[in-house]
Amino acid sequence: MQELNGQSRIKSKTFGRKASRMRPAEREALQLHLESLRVPDDELINERTFGRSGPLFVEIGFGNGEFLYDMALRHPEANFVGIEVFITGVAKLIRRMCQYNNENTPSPQNIRILIKDGEGALRENFMDNTISGVFILFPDPWPKKRHHKRRLIKPGFIQLLYQRLRPGGTLLIVTDHDGYAEEIGRILEASPLVKGDQQIPPSALNTKYAQRAISEGRTPFIFNYQKPSSAANQPVIEPSHKGSTDQTIQESIDEPKETAERRDGITRVY
Ligand SMILES: C[S@@+](CC[C@H](N)C(=O)[O-])C[C@H]1O[C@@H](n2cnc3c(N)ncnc32)[C@H](O)[C@@H]1O
């Protein structure tokens, strides 16, 4: 882990900041509630994760969690896993779940959080043919050519995601970046996924990044795909686990001394 400008960062290829300065209430929300919501780094996600069965939906890169929260409220019968690497976004989701009062128990209770790289999480925490739907809204576009290799959506990632989807399982990707949209389109067309007919949840176009795109006059591209219902269940590839990030997450939650001294109440939202 590096300390840069007083903020904690973890080196990574596919994502940038792990944390920005947090408000005290956000830090407290993490300290009080993260343990009960978080899926341990090496846990296989199944019915025990939620204490009940139900269709499993996953959002990768949930940002501040507006969409995940809305979907979990609207679909109490389903189980939702939010995957995010940006700990300040995790704190904002938990604040939302507590109705902005940390004394409240977070709700709805069908949300669990994985603080992990999306591809690693798919590989290590999910079994084949178990996910009913994956949402990826405004993935970081990494616009510079030399950074394209950092993009989340690559052929190998989509192949892995295909395996983890159950037959008929859906994939929704939204981006407002022309170049990334072209690349995503090519990758999906070359994949075993087929065009889907799921209804686009209105809140997918109501996230922070969706609102920014729309207010700046960019029309989001929507990719609506699914695993064919007829897809035969493939041989299960056992998830493999590659070491825990628990320590680095705790370091991100613990208030850096410098931040505590310079606390100014300003949180830059990514
Ligand atoms: C451009 S933001 C979009 C956030 C949110 N989906 C929205 O629409 O407002 C991209 C988010 O994806 C997260 N992210 C980027 N790479 C990731 C990865 N490899 N695994 C999980 N999350 C990732 C970032 O931390 C960031 O919160």
85 Cβ closer than 6 Å to some ligand 1 atom? yes
Q: What whole-number percentage of the chain has pLDDT above 90? A: 75
Tell me the per-residue pLDDT of 50-76, one tens digit each, with 9 for 90 and over: 999 999 999 999 999 999 999 999 999
Cβ–ligand 1 contact at 208 (below 6 Å) = yes
For residue 186, the CA-to-ligand 1 centroid distance in Å is 21
Q: State whether the beta carbon of 15 lies less than 6 angstroms from ligand 1.
A: yes
pLDDT digits (tens, 9 = 90+) for 20-31: 789 999 999 999
Closest residue (by CA) to atom 16 of ligand 1? 15
135 vs 258, which has greater pLDDT?
135
Catalytic residue set: 140
C-alpha of residue 232 to centroid of ligand 1, in Å? 31
Residue 137 C-alpha to ligand 1 middle, in angstroms? 8
* Ligand 1 atom closest to 89 (CA): 27
Which atom of ligand 1 is nearest to 152's Cα?
19
Per-residue pLDDT, 253? 60
Residue nearest (by alpha carbon) to ligand 1 atom 22? 61
Atom of ligand 1 nearest to the CA of 174: 8
- Considering only the C-alpha atoms of the chain, give the largest distance between any 2 of them, rounded to a whole number of Å: 59
For ligand 1, atom 23, name the residue with the nearest CA: 61
221-237 tens-digit pLDDT: 999 999 999 987 655 55
- Going by alpha carbons, the residue nearest to atom 4 of ligand 1 is 63
Nearest CA to ligand 1 atom 5: 63
**149-193 pLDDT tens trace:** 999 999 999 999 999 999 999 999 999 999 999 999 999 999 999
Is residue 212 over pLDDT 90? Answer: yes
pLDDT higher than threshold 90 for residue 100: yes
User: Measured in angstroms, how far is the CA atom of residue 213 from the centroid of ligand 1?
Assistant: 15
Q: Assign domain 2-257 to its CATH architecture.
A: 3-Layer(aba) Sandwich (3.40)
The model's confidence at residue 244, banded by pLDDT at 50, 70 and 90, is low
| C-beta of 114 in contact with ligand 1 (< 6 A) | no
Asked which of 107-111, 185-189, 253-257 is least confident by mean pLDDT, the reply is 253-257
